Structure 1
Amino acid sequence: MTTFVSVTDAHVHLLPERLLRAIRRALTEQAGWRFPHPTVQDEIEETLETAGIERYFALPYAHKPGMADDLNEWVLDRSTNSEMAVPFATVHADDSVASVVERAFEAGARGLKFQCPVQKCGPTDPRLDPAFELAAEYDRPIVFHAGTAPIYEGNPHVGVDQFAQFLASYPEIRASCAHMGTFEHEAYIDLVREHDNAFLDTSFVMSSAIGEYIDFDPATISNAVFEDLSGSIMYGSDYPNIPHSYRAERELLLERDLPNEVYEDLFWRSATRFLGQSEGE
């Protein structure tokens, strides 16, 4: 039986309750999904802790200009009194990008998050270059929703070509494509093979319930991918904005019966490497 001393969830949305509810309303309108999970930090963390999570990436994103500073400050403040939250920051492409990002990094943000189709900016958007340059300077990683899942096929701000250009332009920045790069997962997996600074997270699309919501079969990603790319794939859940149980996020991953070393990478060490930490930090 596989056991884990420590588990990181590398994809959790910690946002003000009103904003989180608004995001859910939009997803319900667009996709018809319903969300049974809490929107309050204490309750979110209680669920995660019950599931054995030791730390999680707290990922915000700003869907319009002028809100990133306050949102980053809110996430950083909520993370100060949390033993679990690793605070990330965000910025809108039409903000004073360098100022917003530098303030967040100086205040303790551990990385950046971009929800590319919602924020209408992608990994090659020149408006974000100041953010990328600061990420390189401060050695902070970036999480991009750069794939086309679940409802963004044809969106001009996502796609494997843009992510590939980013990796080539900023080889010093560790960059993760959320949701295993679905629906272009095969091309994203190839990028991770080719670039040491490229990562993926498993959120949503590796769930045992995924077939109820989008046309994707987790079995199309073989065990060999997790074994070959061990150290570059992180477990993530997209909690609390998932329409299924938290248990479903890990169920199929655990059923794969991967080697213990691979599970240790998946559930802890890959996230540690992504953060730029050494083991034990």
Structure 2
Amino acid sequence: MTVPAPPLDDTDVPRFLDELGVPGLVDAHVHFLPDRVMDKVWAFFDRAAEHYGTAWPIHYRTTPDERVATLEKLGVRAFAPLVYPHKPGMGRWLTEWVTDFAARTPGAVPTATLYPEPDVTDYLGAAVSAGARVVKVHVQVGSFDPRDPLLRPAWGLLAEAGVPAVVHCGHGPIPGAHTGLDVFGEVLAEHPTLPVVLAHAGMPDFAGALDLVGRHPRVHIDTTMVGTAFTQAMTPLPDDWASRLVDVADRVVYGSDFPNIPYGVHEQVAAVAGWAAADERLGAPFLRAVLHDTPARLLGVAST
């Protein structure tokens, strides 16, 4: 089967999915946060030119209910609502908030987060016992060292439970105090069975991310913002990106970063479709795996 023509806009995504033969998108990288926290996140992006040197208009700046409805219209059948703290004391209540959000929101899978603090294993363990299927770890925003001794039992807990962590540990869009694939590589060396999704494919160190995928069988990369026109202008992919994915085709996971993106979701889907079409060894099977099968497996989403 050839790769379907990529979607031209958001309304065209369901057509694309139907032609591909998948029941919908499974998005492993979506953000829902308490209103006052999301407002602060959006205020930060309103000043993006000060931080990143380019404007970053939020494309889906709507109410939570409207955003859930937008995901449904896009053909998203399941998504991971990711939350993340930027200081101590936030990890527990954000985890409790998102647990409640997932319980009352169709399509949302239960998630959690963590921060290096004395009670991290308590609230993380409670969330995992309650059914959390993925944990968001934002090294850049949290400005913490993922090798912090306070986190060792938390990493061990996730490894033993088989619950994946979506980890933003790359230097993109700008380096943080403890970002770097080499830094997080030390965590993986200590916890080699830890299931991990490297957010944004480790941007800008794409080669370093693929190296970790090659060395650790439970490490994945996600597509979040990778290969879109906006990101290509700042952090272009290597010309042979599609061919580099051939050997790790079963460990690439769809993510969009909805709603905090400066373009429509269809652009991310089209970017992934472009990789599938660029190398005949990938094609439609790769595309189905990335957009649905692999994230569905990681998130425990039942097949239909």
Please give the TM-score of this superposition, normalised by the length of structure 1: 0.90
1:266 is aligned, of 286, 290, 293, to 290
Q: Distance in 2 between matches of 1:122 and 1:57?
A: 24
Bigger proportion of residues as helix: 2
Higher-Rg member (1/2): 2
Q: CA RMSD in A?
A: 2.0
Q: Which residue of 2 aligns with 1:185?
A: 206
Which amino acid in 2 is paired with 1:268? H
Runs of 4+ in 1 over 4 A off after TM superposition: none
Partner SS state of residue 204, structure 1? coil
1:167-202 deviations in Å (ceiling 9; x for gaps): 221122111110011111111112212210111001
Which amino acid in 1 is paired with 2:218? N
Q: Distance in 1 between matches of 2:108 and 2:171?
A: 27
Q: Which residue of 2 aligns with 1:99?
A: 122
Q: Which residue of 2 aligns with 1:175?
A: 196
1:158 is aligned, of 175, 179, 187, to 179
1:10 is aligned, of 24, 28, 31, to 28
Q: Which residue of 2 aligns with 1:239?
A: 258
1:223 is aligned, of 242, 249, 253, to 242
Residue 95 and residue 118 in structure 1: after superposition, are their counterparts in 2 closer, same or farther (change >3 A)? farther
Q: How many residues align?
A: 276
List runs of 5+ in structure 1 lacking aligned partners: none
Percent identical: 31
Shift of 1:95: 4.6
Q: Distance in 2 between matches of 1:63 and 1:39?
A: 23
Please give the TM-score of this superposition, normalised by the length of structure 2: 0.84
**Please, which moves more after superposition, 160-169 or 184-193?**
160-169
1:8-55 deviations in Å (ceiling 9; x for gaps): 111001111211110121233233422131353321222212111111
Contact 2:223 2:272 in 1 (8 A): no
Residue 44 and residue 122 in structure 1: after superposition, are their counterparts in 2 closer, same or farther (change >3 A)? farther
List runs of 5+ in structure 2 lacking aligned partners: 5-18
Q: Distance in 2 between matches of 1:42 and 1:186?
A: 38
Q: Distance in 2 between matches of 1:105 and 1:119?
A: 21
Q: Which residue of 1 aligns with 2:15?
A: none
Residue 122 and residue 234 in structure 1: after superposition, are their counterparts in 2 closer, same or farther (change >3 A)? farther
Which amino acid in 2 is paired with 1:64? K
Q: Distance in 1 between matches of 2:301 and 2:112?
A: 22
Q: Distance in 1 between matches of 2:263 and 2:214?
A: 31
Q: Which residue of 2 aligns with 1:85?
A: 108
Q: Which residue of 1 aligns with 2:65?
A: 42
Contact 1:173 1:197 in 2 (8 A): yes
**Please, which moves more after superposition, 79-88 or 179-188?**
79-88
Partner SS state of residue 9, structure 1? strand
Shift of 1:279: 6.5
Q: Distance in 2 between matches of 1:57 and 1:101?
A: 16
Q: Which has the higher contact order (CA 8 A, sep 6+)?
A: 2
Shift of 1:222: 2.0
1:76-120 deviations in Å (ceiling 9; x for gaps): 111112221112111221351111211222232212111101112
Q: Which residue of 2 aligns with 1:206?
A: 227
1:116-164 deviations in Å (ceiling 9; x for gaps): 0111224322221121122123221111101011122xx3311111222
Which amino acid in 2 is paired with 1:24? W
Partner SS state of residue 220, structure 1? coil
Q: Distance in 1 between matches of 2:193 and 2:99?
A: 25
